[in-house]
Amino acid sequence: MRQQFWGLVLGVSCGCLLSVTKPAEAAAASGDWHAEWDRVVAAAKKEGKVHLIGPRGDERRRALSETFAKNYGVEVEYLGTGGPDLPPRIQSERRAGVYFWDVIIAGSTTVFKSLKPAGIVEPLEPALILPEVKDPKNWRGGELPFLDKDRTLLAITRRAGQYLYVNTDQVKTGAIKSWRDLLRPEYKGKILIGRDPRLAGYGQATFVFFFSRKDLGPEFVRQLVKQDLRIMEDDRTAATWLAQGKYPICICSDLQTDRLIKEKLPLRAVEGRELKEGTHVTSAFANLTLPNRPPHPNAAKLYINWVLTKEGGTVFSKSTGDPSMRLDVPTDYVESWAIPRPEWPISNTEEALKAEEPTMALLKEVLGSR
């Protein structure tokens, strides 16, 4: 299978250096989107496939592949990957002259820290055709949810960060109403963190949120570290220890902790709505970008428009459990804590990510180097 895959890579790399943004410019300029759409659909069917990098997990792969393939007769060749594994792979391919990928759905750090500086992605907006996709009124906040001024990355879903959990046998409901309540003397030595904040992930994002909030800030981070935090790199163990009562409070993964809550163990989430300072908001891995020089330019454009429609947004949102950025996608299957408030800060825009560097410098100072 691997030999077939790389054989296909080498086969498509030579004659597939077309731009996705140029065809039928006259039709698009005249406002005749129907003609442009029909042309793209027909051309995409001739190309026959689209090469997509998306998030890991079978349910997400099915959501991002099956409905699109059924609707348009265009095969989706899907690679589930992300994080630090993705940039070296694409950079290695390109050094070999291979341009294999048409569409990427990935985390903003991956794009803004690696793919964009390397010149691998291009502005997404010229690829948008459908009025329902381009109309700002269909999107939360009244605008397309781009994460950078160059409009190379767009959030498909966005959720509230939910990482604060307590053992209900030890911490009563309502006892924690502010992040500053974690600084109480009785909680010293009793706070567990499931993911080292010096590593990429929710731990780092949470501490960047602390650092960036004017009503928390660097001094709060310093005081919190003085609470003798137990820092781990194992979400599952952290959630288990919380459930067992070894620690009453945990900043840890919602995936692991919610699993134990469903098993009726004595845990609960302290939601952002319960906290004076709220929480941060993130689109995590659910961000759409367009690599330049795609091998199937029309299929790429077709896929980008589809995944941003109500239909595409619905199947993807249901696969993740996160609220879509589209206003017309239902949220009845979304946990209440995941729906963000408009005033909560977005932590993964290109601008917001600039706070990572000073936050990491402070954590290195107070926690030491890894």
Q: What is the pLDDT of residues 235-275, one digit of tens each?
A: 899 999 999 999 999 999 888 898 899 999 999 999 999 99
Whether residue 16 contacts residue 295, with contact meaning beta carbons closer than 8 Å, is answered with yes
Whether residue 54 contacts residue 61, with contact meaning beta carbons closer than 8 Å, is answered with yes
The 8-class DSSP code of residue 152 comes to -
Q: Is the dihedral of CA 124, 331, 81, 230 positive or negative?
A: positive
Query: In this prediction, what percent of the chain has a pLDDT beyond 70?
Result: 92
CA distance 42 to 296: 12
pLDDT given for residue 16 in this prediction: 41
**CA of residue 147 relative to chain centroid, distance:** 11
> Do β-strands 159-160 and 281-282 pair in parallel, antiparallel, or remain unpaired?
antiparallel
Residues 6+ apart with CB under 8 A from 11: none
The 8-class DSSP code of residue 348 comes to -
Written as one string, the DSSP assignment of 54-99 is E-SSHHHHHHHHHHHHHHH--EEEEEE--GGGHHHHHHHHHHTT--
State the chain's mean pLDDT as an integer. 91
Is residue 325 packed enough to be buried (19+ CB in 10 Å), middle (13-18) or exposed (0-12)? buried
Q: What is the pLDDT of residues 296-320, one digit of tens each?
A: 999 999 999 999 999 999 999 999 9
Which residue ranges form the domains of the chain, and what is each CATH number? 2-159+283-338 (3.40.190.10), 162-279+351-367 (3.40.190.10)
pLDDT given for residue 101 in this prediction: 98
**pTM of the predicted structure, to 2 decimals:** 0.85
